[in-house]
Amino acid sequence: MATVHPRLTALLIALLLLWPTVALTDSQDLETLNQQRTTLSGQLDVVKGEEAGILTDLFNLNRSLDQIQQQIHQTQADMAKVEQALQETVQQENDLKARYQLRQEQFGRRIRFMAEHGAATYFEVILNATDLQDFVWRLGLVQAFIRRDAQLLTDVRSLRQQVVAKEAELQSQRQQLSDLNGRLVAEQTELEGTIQTKNDRLAALKDQRGYYEQSLETLDKVWSEKVVPLLRMFGQSFHTLAEHVTEMKPSKFDVSFFPTPNARVIVKTADLNAFVQQFPDLRGLSFTLEPAKANLTGDFSGATLQIEGTFVIVGKTVLRYNPAKISFAGLPVDGQYTRDLVAGGGLDFDLSTLVTGWKLDSATVDTDMVTIKASYSP
């Protein structure tokens, strides 16, 4: 079965995902664009998640590889020491063999002497003494020969046993170290193979991530090209509404002249939305009022518009609808577009003709109502 290169696979996936995007350029369907972006974002998150997992695995694998390489280095150093010790032991054994042969020759001469003259020879040496002093000297000589023969046998046996035991111990150490080195090298080879596989997969994921990011960038560009005109249309429509603010009837209006002249205007949610519904382009939208929030949501020009904002006072006579976040079709609008919309004055209610001689002091959004307070400022 043929193997498809990972980078080719990523390219095919990206092309398949981008194909609907190209078609959408003419459809102006923001909802579908949002769905497409959600799909790409999900794919990108999956790739990033796998990349993060592989990077963690590679960190742990490389750390394990370093540890194994250090163990191999130490094991090989130990093997070199054992090999050196074995060479020294072999040399020592050769020296002992030479000494053993010398002792054997000495012992052989004793045996041959005994065989030729018999065991009685020692007694004859002693009994042939001419006087007491000669007797003592001969007796000491015979005893020295006997002790020498016994020590010769003991020395040869002991030295031989020591060398054999040491050589066996070193051979055992060498075998153990060789086995350990073999296992470590096998682990190293396996780890290197796993690391290579991970790196190959990481390279393929990097390509996929690049394709997805490029695809998202293309989608965002297409989406922005469609949203900016809608945002301008909304600004124009809202500005039209603001120009007719004098036609909006307040829910409640209070004036007090003590201790200083002041006024309070309350606009309920129902009255505010009834005013908004008078404008055809904004009929699909409605306000929801709650503490410190005046959110505007609904359909605008066939797209779902969501604005999170509130009302604030600007200067002495301007009431501004100040958006904190604007979303079209579930996708947030770039903050710069929002700032441009505000800076253009499209969301400002100029109340100067209504409050001549008065100054707006505050605008408070609460549950189901907006309260505007003003004070007399001749």
Taking only the tens place, the pLDDT of each residue in 24-60 is 333 347 777 778 888 888 999 999 999 999 999 999 9
The more confidently predicted of residues 38 and 192 is 192
pLDDT per position as a tens digit, 59-83: 999 999 999 999 999 988 998 988 8
Residue 15, pLDDT > 80, answer no
pLDDT at position 67: 93
CA distance 238 to 228: 15
pLDDT at position 267: 93
Give the tokens for residue 40: 């790409």
pLDDT per position as a tens digit, 239-282: 888 888 888 888 888 888 877 888 899 999 999 999 999 999 99
CA distance 355 to 359: 7
Q: Would you identify the CATH topology of the domain 32-215?
A: Helix Hairpins (1.10.287)
CA distance 363 to 371: 6
Tell me, what amino acid is at 79?
Answer: M
For the ranges 127-136, 159-168, 331-340, 368-377, the maximum mean pLDDT occurs at 368-377
For the ranges 9-13, 124-128, 162-166, 178-182, the maximum mean pLDDT occurs at 178-182
Q: How remote is the C-alpha of 74 from its chain's centroid?
A: 32
Residue 118, pLDDT > 60, answer no
| pLDDT, mean of residues 321-338 | 85
Q: Are 184 and 73 in contact (CB under 8 A)?
A: no
Q: Are 329 and 30 in contact (CB under 8 A)?
A: yes
Q: 142-160 burial, b if ≥16 CB within 10 A, otherwise e?
A: eeeeeeeeeebeeebeebe
pLDDT at position 163: 76
Helix (H, G, I), strand (E, B) or coil at 28: coil
CA distance to 119, 122, 318, per residue, from 114 (Å)? 6, 9, 138
Give the tokens for residue 193: 């193979």
Q: How confident is the model at residue 134 (pLDDT cuts 50, 70, 90)?
A: confident
pLDDT at position 116: 62
Residue ranges covered by each domain of the chain: 32-215, 244-376
